[in-house]
Amino acid sequence: MSNLQELICITCPKGCVAKVWKEKGDIKIEGKICKNGKAYIKQEYIEPKRMLTSTVVVERSTVKRLPVRTREAIPKKKLFMAMNQLSEIRVKPPVKIGDVIISNLLNTGIDVIASDDLL
């Protein structure tokens, strides 16, 4: 058993706990956990990923900030770097919900999109 971790599954409010480890190249999971849970735990063990939601500075408007988010989850370890990137962004109206604000964020292949209209 190498690299044993105890992880909490968050796919439903139950919060079941599972032990995860790597054995001979295979991911092993032990604990009372359902199918959805297993998929999450496996990903969490291999590479934890998180959705990032934040805001960017708006210029030329009485609105000050535009909410944005990553289209999908990105590696957890890139969250603070992503925040730094976002702090450089300036947008101005008009922006439509879903517009791409940053394309291929930090080479993850995942875009940052506008989470609201800016009229």
**Residue ranges that bind another protein, judged by CB under 8 A:** 8, 10, 13-15, 50-57, 64-65, 67, 69, 76, 79-80, 83, 86-87, 97, 115-117
Shortest distance in whole angstroms from residue 110 CB to another protein: 14
Nearer to another protein, 67 or 93 (CB): 67
Shortest distance in whole angstroms from residue 38 CB to another protein: 17
Nearer to another protein, 53 or 103 (CB): 53
CA 34, 7, 33: angle at the middle one, nearest 5? 10
